[in-house]
Structure 1
Amino acid sequence: MFQQPIKNFKVNFNALNADSTFSGGDTVSGQTSFDIIKPTKITSIKIIVNGKANVHWSTGSRKHRRHHSATLEFFNFNNFLLQENSAAGETEIPPGTHVYPFMCPLPNGNFPSSFTGLSGKVSYTLTVGIKRPWHLSKEYVTEFTYVNRIDANQPHLLAPLSGTIDTTLGCLCCVSGRITMTATLQKKVFFPGETVIIVCDFSNGSSRVASPKAKLQQIQSYYTHNRGTRRIVPINLGSVNGDPVAARTPCKHAEIMLTIPPTAPPTIDNCSILNVTYVIEVNFGTRASPGIQVLFPIILSYTPVNTPLPICE
Structure 2
Amino acid sequence: MVVGLLMSIVLENEGKNGYLTGESVSGQVVLELLEESEVVGLYLCAHGEATVSFTPKRGVDGNQNVSTSEEHEYLNEKIPLLVASAGERHIFSAGKHKLPFSFQLPASNLVTTFTGKYGKVQYQLSAVLQRPSVPDLTIHRELRVTSRIDVNSPSLLTPIEQTKERMVGCWFFTSGPISLSAKIGRKGYCNGEAVAIYAEIENGSSRLIVPKAAIYQTQSFIVNGKTKTHKQMLASVRGNHIASGSTETWNGKTLKIPPVTPTILDCQIIRVEYVLAVYIHIPGAKRLMVELPIVIGTVPFNAFTYRNPSVASQFTVDMSWLALTLPEQPEAPPNYADVVSEEDLSWCSPSVTEQEELLDGLCFPSFAIIQEFRFQPPPLYSQVDPNLNHTAESTVPFALEE
CA drift at 1:282: 1.0
CA drift at 1:25: 2.3
| Match of residue 82 from structure 1 | 82
2:55–2:68 Cα contact (<8 Å) kept: yes
Distance 1:127 1:218, change over 3 A: same
Q: Given the alignment of the two structures, is residue 114 of structure 1 paired with residue 110 of structure 2, yes or no?
A: no
Distance 1:64 1:38, change over 3 A: farther
Report the aligned-residue RMSD.
Answer: 2.2
Q: Given the alignment of the two structures, is residue 10 of structure 1 paired with residue 8 of structure 2, yes or no?
A: yes
2:17–2:146 Cα contact (<8 Å) kept: no
* Superposition map of 1:162-177 within 5 A: 162-177=161-176
Q: Given the alignment of the two structures, is residue 46 of structure 1 paired with residue 7 of structure 2, yes or no?
A: no
CA drift at 1:298: 0.8
Q: Given the alignment of the two structures, is residue 33 of structure 1 paired with residue 47 of structure 2, yes or no?
A: no
Q: For residue 239 of structure 1, what is the amino acid of its counterpart? A: S
Distance in 2 of aligned mates of 1:41 and 1:132: 6
| Match of residue 136 from structure 1 | 135
| Match of residue 311 from structure 1 | none
| Match of residue 56 from structure 1 | 53
* Superposition map of 1:223-262 within 5 A: 223-224=222-223, 227-249=224-246, 251-255=247-251, 256-261=253-258
Distance in 2 of aligned mates of 1:107 and 1:123: 15
2:150–2:300 Cα contact (<8 Å) kept: no
Q: Given the alignment of the two structures, is residue 271 of structure 1 paired with residue 267 of structure 2, yes or no?
A: yes
2:115–2:121 Cα contact (<8 Å) kept: yes
* Greater fraction helix: 2
* Superposition map of 1:66-105 within 5 A: 66-85=66-85, 87=87, 90-105=89-104
Distance in 2 of aligned mates of 1:153 and 1:137: 48
Q: For residue 99 of structure 1, what is the amino acid of its counterpart? A: K
Q: For residue 190 of structure 1, what is the amino acid of its counterpart? A: Y
Post-superposition Cα deviations, 1:201-229, rounded to whole Å, max 9, x if no partner, equal 011011111111111111111112xx522
CA drift at 1:91: 2.5
Q: For residue 80 of structure 1, what is the amino acid of its counterpart? A: P
CA drift at 1:86: 5.8
Q: For residue 39 of structure 2, what is the amino acid of its counterpart? A: I
CA drift at 1:293: 0.6
Q: Which moved more, 1:157-166 or 1:74-83?
A: 74-83
Secondary structure in 2 aligned to 1:173?
helix
CA drift at 1:132: 1.8
| Match of residue 309 from structure 2 | none
| Match of residue 180 from structure 2 | 181
Distance in 1 of aligned mates of 2:185 and 2:76: 41
Structure with bigger RCO (C-alpha 8 Å, 6+ apart): 1
Secondary structure in 2 aligned to 1:113?
coil
Secondary structure in 2 aligned to 1:59?
coil
CA drift at 1:20: 5.2
Distance 1:307 1:74, change over 3 A: farther
Selected match of 2:294 from 289, 292, 298? 298
Q: Which moved more, 1:178-187 or 1:28-37?
A: 28-37
Q: For residue 272 of structure 1, what is the amino acid of its counterpart? A: Q
| Match of residue 286 from structure 1 | 282
2:150–2:298 Cα contact (<8 Å) kept: no
Q: Where does structure 1 differ by over 4 angstroms across 4 or more consecutive aligned residues? A: none
Q: For residue 119 of structure 2, what is the amino acid of its counterpart? A: G
1:5–1:40 Cα contact (<8 Å) kept: no
CA drift at 1:180: 0.4
Post-superposition Cα deviations, 1:156-181, rounded to whole Å, max 9, x if no partner, equal 21111001100110111311211001
Secondary structure in 1 aligned to 2:127?
strand
1:210–1:246 Cα contact (<8 Å) kept: yes
Q: For residue 115 of structure 2, what is the amino acid of its counterpart? A: T
Identity %: 28
- TM-score (ref. length: structure 2): 0.70
Which runs of no fewer than 5 residues in structure 1 stay unpaired?
309-313
Distance in 1 of aligned mates of 2:303 and 2:174: 52
